[in-house]
């Protein structure tokens, strides 16, 4: 079955609302989700790390490959056998000059994500996979009085948490939170090739299971992330396994123009529905529309 009919906004909202109501909607989050906390973007983070260890400034404008090479140089020269030390450097540069306080409560995107997580008769999201290693989302959840379970390494037994947050790329919490983080961080081509891109690795198997049992909603991730050499094969394999039953997920994208149709076809070929919005500020409205559509099916006692 072709799923291009679901690229229409209203149909997409209806389909995702049904998944929210039945409890199978899973969020996959990228760097765009943390932008409201004023954390450095990838290029600024790597540049700050290079400065911290005394390496010269480098042009990192040519894309993901240049960023990965620049990060790998830091790891190779200063932390060749010290993954925890490298993670500590990333954490230091990631949070320098920032505090994750009550200001995150005013972020529109986090507010909309929080609405999906709140327990309700219309359903809620219980599983989140984030490719970020910051603790912006966790800070927001704790400030709202919800209980998250942070998964650093599968398998983990289910508990009484409100939402389970998987961190396949590592987890480096803000120092003010005083909670345990991971002793690894996925930054650079050497580490990106590991774990989720390796068949039978626990992370690979876990994400395959999550995508096979739930419908993914990918937010804050670029098209380059879809084409990532570790994620793309996984999405393709899951899509082939689902056959024509349903799409693997929906990928939220901005209307760019010229190449949209080519990108959309590439996504649809992997059973990922492209969901085009005028811009990233429209994402909170999409998430709230999903919540509201799901709630409309619940009868109100009169």
Q: Please say whether the beta carbons of 37 and 98 come within 8 A.
A: yes
Q: Please say whether the beta carbons of 16 and 125 come within 8 A.
A: no
What pLDDT, on a 0 to 100 scale, did the predictor assign at position 195?
A: 59
Helix (H, G, I), strand (E, B) or coil at 250: strand
Closest among 210, 213, 217, 212 to 12, alpha carbons compared? 217
Beta bridge partners of 128: 27, 165
What pLDDT, on a 0 to 100 scale, did the predictor assign at position 115?
A: 95
What pLDDT, on a 0 to 100 scale, did the predictor assign at position 194?
A: 61
- 138-157: pLDDT as tens digits: 989 998 899 999 999 888 87
What pLDDT, on a 0 to 100 scale, did the predictor assign at position 289?
A: 97
Residue segments in the chain with a per-residue pLDDT below the cut of 70? 1, 61-64, 102-103, 189-195, 197, 229, 258, 301-302
Closest among 32, 254, 274, 53 to 130, alpha carbons compared? 32
Q: How far apart are the first and last CA of the chain?
A: 41
Q: Please say whether the beta carbons of 136 and 37 come within 8 A.
A: yes
What pLDDT, on a 0 to 100 scale, did the predictor assign at position 295?
A: 94
- The helix (H) or strand (E) run that includes residue 181 is none
Place of tokens 């961190």: 167
What pLDDT, on a 0 to 100 scale, did the predictor assign at position 173?
A: 94
- 156-185: pLDDT as tens digits: 877 788 999 999 989 999 988 888 899 888
φ/ψ of 272, rounded to 5, equals -110, 125
pTM above threshold 0.85: yes
């Amino acid at each position: 079955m072709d799923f291009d009919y679901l690229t229409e906004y209203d149909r997409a909202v209806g389909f995702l609302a049904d998944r929210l109501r039945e409890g199978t909607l899973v969020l996959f989050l990228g760097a765009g989700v943390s932008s409201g906390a004023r954390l450095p973007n990838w290029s600024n983070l790597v540049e700050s790390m290079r400065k911290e260890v005394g390496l010269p400034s480098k042009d990192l404008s040519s894309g993901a490959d240049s960023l990965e090479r620049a990060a790998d140089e830091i790891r190779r020269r200063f932390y060749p056998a010290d993954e925890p030390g490298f993670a500590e450097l990333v954490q230091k540069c990631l949070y320098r000059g920032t505090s994750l306080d009550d200001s995150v409560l005013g972020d529109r995107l986090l507010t909309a994500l929080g609405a999906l997580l709140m327990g309700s008769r219309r359903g809620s999201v219980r599983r989140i996979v984030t490719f970020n290693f910051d603790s912006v989302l966790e800070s927001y959840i704790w400030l709202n009085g919800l209980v998250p379970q942070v998964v650093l390494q599968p398998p983990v037994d289910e508990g009484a948490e409100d939402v389970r947050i998987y961190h396949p790329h590592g987890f480096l919490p803000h120092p003010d939170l005083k909670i345990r983080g991971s002793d690894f961080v996925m930054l650079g081509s050497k580490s990106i090739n590991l774990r989720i891109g390796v068949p039978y690795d626990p992370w690979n198997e876990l994400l395959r299971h999550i995508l096979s049992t739930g419908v993914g909603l990918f937010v804050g991730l670029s098209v380059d992330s879809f084409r990532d050499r570790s994620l793309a094969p996984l999405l393709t394999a899951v899509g082939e396994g689902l056959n024509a039953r349903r799409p693997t997920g929906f990928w939220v994208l901005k209307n760019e123009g010229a190449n949209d149709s080519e990108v959309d076809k590439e996504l649809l070929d992997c059973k990922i529905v492209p969901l085009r919005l005028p811009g990233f500020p429209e994402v909170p409205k999409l998430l709230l529309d999903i919540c509201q559509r799901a709630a409309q099916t619940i009868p109100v006692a009169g």
